[in-house]
Amino acid sequence: MKTLTRNISNLNIKHDTSDNPSFNYKNLLQRLKVGNIDYFIGRFLFFRRFYSLYKYLKQKLLKVKKEETFISQICDHSKLDVNSIVSQIKQDSYYNQLYLQESTVLSILKSAKSRYLIAKSEPTLIFFYDDYAEKIKPFKKLAMAHVSQPLKIEEIYKLRHDKFILSVVEKYLGYYPEKCTAKLWWSFADNLSSQDRRKQFQTIDYHYDVHGFNFCYVSFYITDVDIKSGAHVLVKSSHKNKKLFMLYRSARLPDLIIEQNYSTDDIVVIEGAAGKGFFEDTSCYHKALPPIERDRLLLQLRYF
Ligand X SMILES: O=C(O)CCC(=O)C(=O)O
CB of 211 to ligand X, least distance (A): 8
Question: Which residue has the CB atom at the shortest distance from ligand X?
Answer: 288
Among 288, 297, 299, 301, which residue sits at the site for ligand X (rule: CB under 6 A)? 288
Using CB under 6 A as the binding rule, whether residue 160 contacts ligand X is answered as no
CB of 71 to Fe ion, least distance (A): 30
Of 247, 285, 254, 289, whose CA–CA distance to 269 is shortest?
289
* 132 vs 279 by CB, closer to Fe ion: 279
Q: Bridge partners of 74? A: 100
Question: How many CB atoms sit inside 10 A of residue 296's CB?
Answer: 25
CB of 270 to Fe ion, least distance (A): 13
210, 42 contact by CB (below 8 A): yes
What does 232 interact with, of ligand X, Fe ion, none (CB < 5 to 8 A by kind)?
ligand X
108, 156 contact by CB (below 8 A): yes
Burial class (CB in 10 A: 0-12, 13-18, 19+), 293: exposed
Of 255, 139, 240, whose CA–CA distance to 194 is shortest?
255
Instruction: For Cα atoms 45, 50, 55, give the angle at the middle one, nearest 5 degrees.
Output: 120
Q: Bridge partners of 180? A: 303
* 153 vs 270 by CB, closer to ligand X: 270
Using CB under 6 A as the binding rule, whether residue 258 contacts ligand X is answered as no
Using CB under 6 A as the binding rule, whether residue 232 contacts ligand X is answered as yes
* 55 vs 252 by CB, closer to ligand X: 252
CB of 209 to Fe ion, least distance (A): 4
Interface with ligand X in residues 129-148 (CB under 6 A)? none
Using CB under 6 A as the binding rule, whether residue 209 contacts ligand X is answered as yes
The answer for 260, left when phi > 0, alpha when psi is -120 to 50, beta otherwise, is alpha
* 136 vs 231 by CB, closer to ligand X: 231
- Residues touching ligand X: how many (CB under 6 A)? 7
* 94 vs 164 by CB, closer to Fe ion: 94
- Backbone phi and psi for residue 163, each to the nearest 5 degrees, phi listed first: -55, -45
Instruction: For Cα atoms 23, 173, 61, give the angle at the middle one, nearest 5 degrees.
Output: 115
Interface with ligand X in residues 182-201 (CB under 6 A)? none
* 136 vs 234 by CB, closer to Fe ion: 234
Using CB under 6 A as the binding rule, whether residue 281 contacts ligand X is answered as no
- Spatial separation of the C-alpha atoms in residues 58 and 148, rounded to whole Å: 34
* 242 vs 286 by CB, closer to ligand X: 286
Interface with Fe ion in residues 197-236 (CB under 5 A)? 209
Among 203, 237, 250, 261, which residue sits at the site for ligand X (rule: CB under 6 A)? 203
Please name the helix (run of DSSP H) or strand (run of DSSP E) that holds residue 186, with its range, or none.
strand 180-187
Binding site for Fe ion (CB under 5 A): 209
Binding site for ligand X (CB under 6 A): 203, 209, 232, 286, 288, 298, 300
